[in-house]
Structure 1
Amino acid sequence: MTDTITRLTAADLVGPAGEALLALNNAHAEELSWLEPARLAHLVSEAFVARRIGVADALLLTFDQAADYDSPNFLWFRERYPAFVYVDRVVVTDGARGRGLARRLYDDLFVAARLAGHERIVCEVNSDPPNPASEAFHAALGFVAVGTATIHGGKKTVTYLERTLAT
């Protein structure tokens, strides 16, 4: 098992590695949203930063404001900010929790965003159904609430978060 962060590409989505990444995402569909293989491939192709650790120990997918993406959460930020990097999903497999993998993925993202001239990282966290672990994690990273929304026909409420990057 390696904790090396690697760039996620379309080639990684073929075969057992792709199946493992899809399974990791879909095991956490309540927090992230369910993906089919073609949708995951599209997201990876549109990503500003797409990273994984191990074969499928951890996954990070992010988009900048120019991405072809129809998520209501992404669109909420696009309506309000001219430039941003949106964290669409970050997930760590249960067996790899507690090793700091999500924090390492975010640190890698912060570097990439700064190098590209971005000043703002945004995301959302479920508030209903609640996701207190994600809330605490993002607060520890310096994210602050900038809004809320009820989505998916009232089935979910999210809190929108922002972290500005020091230049």
Structure 2
Amino acid sequence: MAEIVALQSASQDDLRTLNNAFAAETSYQSEDDWTRLIGQARFGYAVPPAAGFLIGMDQGADYQSPNFLWFKARFDRFAYVDRIVIAASAHGQGLGRALYERMFKDAKASGFERVVAEVNAVPPNPTSLAFHERLGFAAIGEQAFDSGKSVRYFECRL
């Protein structure tokens, strides 16, 4: 089993570099953007040195992502996965599942009843879609953006 540490104890430069390698799926983060993002994290985990990470927030975050705001408009209380990234060299090792299971455990211990996330529908991300469904997530909505991108929203009841 991979070692999972608190996001803040991992190398932020390495994690931001990993994030930016997957900017098409997540979003590019400058150093200032990254600092603000992790400052909002209620749930943040990493697999050192930079094999993967998960950043999650709760409904009280001061975060203006349209996906986060979609959930905020529908639920009074939720644990939101903003992003999970696994290095290409670490795919297939169960790190994504391990990071989610850690978040599920911590969210449940904090009294959350649901974890929510979105998956890109356009451009399609069938690997992420199948992964989330295997973890017990169910689709609860969709949103299309003027950019042509669209996402599918998911909930996993704890």
TM-score, structure 2 as length reference = 0.96
Structure 1 segment 2-151 matched on structure 2, within 5 A? 3-9=2-8, 12=10, 17-151=11-145
Q: What is the total number of aligned residue pairs between the two structures?
A: 158
**Shift in Å, 1:19:** 2.1
Q: CA deviation at 1:18?
A: 2.1
Structure 1 unaligned runs (5+)? none
Amino acid at match of 2:155: E
SS in 1 for 2:24: helix
User: What is the identity, as a one-letter code, of the residue corresponding to 1:163?
Assistant: C
Matches of 1:117 and 1:99 in 2, distance apart? 29
Cα distance between partner residues in 1 of 2:45 and 2:38: 9
Q: CA deviation at 1:142?
A: 0.7
Distance 1:77 1:102 in 2: 22
| TM-score, normalised with respect to structure 1 | 0.91
Distance 2:74 2:96 in 1: 27
Instruction: Give aligned-pair identity as a percent.
Output: 42
CA distance in 1, matches of 2:148, 2:42: 29
Moved over 4 A (4+): none
Secondary structure of residue in 2 paired with 1:145: strand
In structure 1, what is the Cα distance between the partners aligned to 2:48 and 2:12? 12
Question: What SS class does the counterpart of residue 51 from structure 1 fall into?
Answer: strand
RMSD: 1.2
Which residues of structure 2 form unaligned runs of 5+?
Answer: none
SS for the counterpart of 1:80 is coil
Tell me the amino acid that sits aligned with residue 161 of structure 1: F
For residue 107 of structure 2, give the secondary structure of its aligned residue in structure 1. helix
